[in-house]
Amino acid sequence: MKLSYGSSKKGDVSEALRTISEPAALFFSVAKEEMLAHAATEIEKIFPGVPSIGGVGQSYIGKQFFDEGITVIAMKDNIKVVADVLEQASVMPIKYIRRLENAVRAVNGERGKTACFDICSSGADVRAVTTLSGYLCPLGYDLAGGTSNSASIACNGRVYKDACAFLIFKNLKGKIKSYKENIYIHPQENDKQFMVTKADPRDYRIRTLESMSAEKLYTTELGITRDKITTQTFKNPFGHVCDSDTYIVSIKDVEPDGSITTFRPANRMDFLTILNIGDYREVVQDTISRIKNDLGSTPAVLSVNCLFRYIMFNDEHYWDTYLSEMCGSFSHAGIVGVGEHYNTQFVNQTMCCLAFE
């Protein structure tokens, strides 16, 4: 597969598409929600019938970063692609499962060569990921994607609220594989796990850990004050321990009653740990090496980087270096999301991607 790109800081769709020809599929991002409908309509007019999905957020193409206007990522050569949408994504996306089934059937899905890239409305992640992965993963089809910074997403020229748009890819000449990059590690000493003893998952609220207010436990363990909690998550997020893996849970806010709201829900009797930031430069190099070892020296990579990762990398003056290292190794583009999807899991503060041989 080959990636090509276009952009317009003014939000001019025609300008953004000027460098793109004969795409098999399009993935686009706009800076503001009010730009989404116009962009979706114009893309459909210029490339009628070409599968397309889009959302709201910052994006990157090679070494370039965009936080205004529109960016478009085009995919072509040796791929078959179908785009569709699961509606009522935060309530009952399973009602629309036939659309997913039909999309996989249309590309003639094949284990190891078929995968899904999705973008969903903010707040719709849990049920969207459960629905997508519940069908795809048992068949051996990987999933990666993320969350639009808005209530709306676009698919095939139309805008939907509370929905999840997806691209089903089949690589006609090689493999497709999903990857998750976690730059956080378990503490080497005193690796404690804390049971969630009271929570409101619908409100993304952790009330107590080990029967202690979430605020008190977190501040006591790290030796910090309450006012530091929302920034400390950049270095010490919660980690949800699940089997042999750990999935990151970012802290959003602290409530007057001592509960903590997060960007990913936690359930009663979940086990959480408090993670430490690792050597992220080494982790990035390890991801690059894994992709090259699995798929050769020149794969194309479509990714989602968490907003908190972007903020932290930018604060550390590493973001530009990160983009250079990624695009120096393979063709790379993607978006900054407010949530990330990796196979069966909705995660935070993570990079998730699909890599095409």
* Average pLDDT of the residues in 27-33: 97
* Dist CA 168 CA 116 (whole Å): 5
In the structure encoding, which two tokens stand for residue 49, read together?
């019938």
Give the model confidence (pLDDT) of 275-284 as tens digits: 999 999 999 9
Smallest CA-to-CA distance from 66 within 346, 315, 305, 231 is with: 305
Residue 190: its pLDDT value, please? 64
* Average pLDDT of the residues in 288-307: 94
What is the residue-wise DSSP string for 279-299?
Answer: -HHHHHHHHHHHHHHHH-S--
* Average pLDDT of the residues in 259-263: 97
Give the model confidence (pLDDT) of 216-227 as tens digits: 999 999 999 999
Residue 43: its pLDDT value, please? 98
* Average pLDDT of the residues in 289-299: 91
* Dist CA 176 CA 138 (whole Å): 16
Say which range, 164-168, 184-188, 216-220, 320-324, has the weakest mean pLDDT. Answer: 184-188
Residue 297: its pLDDT value, please? 78
* Dist CA 271 CA 210 (whole Å): 10
Q: Where are the domains of the chain?
A: 2-182+281-356, 184-277
Give the model confidence (pLDDT) of 54-110 as tens digits: 999 999 999 999 999 999 999 999 999 999 999 999 999 999 999 999 999 999 999
Residues with Cβ < 8 Å from 166, sequence gap 6 or more? 53, 83, 84, 85, 86, 100, 103, 116, 117, 118, 119, 132, 145
Residue 351 falls in which region: left (phi positive, over 0), alpha (psi -120 to 50) or beta: beta
In the structure encoding, which two tokens stand for residue 188, read together?
């080497």
Q: What is the band of 52 on the pLDDT scale with cuts at 50, 70, 90?
A: very high
Residue 188: its pLDDT value, please? 63
Asked if 306 and 351 touch (Cβ cutoff 8 Å), the reply is yes
In the structure encoding, which two tokens stand for residue 102, read together?
């039909």
Looking at the predicted structure, is the pLDDT value of residue 357 above 70? yes
Q: What angle do CA 194, 199, 201 make, to 5 degrees?
A: 115
* pTM: predicted TM-score of the whole model, two decimal places: 0.95
Residue 189: its pLDDT value, please? 61
Determine how many CB atoms are found less than 10 A away from the CB of residue 105: 12
Give the model confidence (pLDDT) of 101-140 as tens digits: 999 999 999 999 999 999 999 999 999 999 999 999 999 9
Residue 262 bridge partners (DSSP): 251
Smallest CA-to-CA distance from 35 within 71, 5, 59, 63 is with: 71
Tell me what percent of the residues of the chain surpass a pLDDT of 90: 95
Residue 107: its pLDDT value, please? 98
* Average pLDDT of the residues in 331-349: 96
Looking at the predicted structure, is the pLDDT value of residue 30 above 80? yes
Asked if 186 and 275 touch (Cβ cutoff 8 Å), the reply is yes
Give the model confidence (pLDDT) of 225-257 as tens digits: 999 999 999 999 999 988 778 899 999 999 999
Q: What is the band of 153 on the pLDDT scale with cuts at 50, 70, 90?
A: very high
Residue 191: its pLDDT value, please? 75
* Average pLDDT of the residues in 142-166: 98
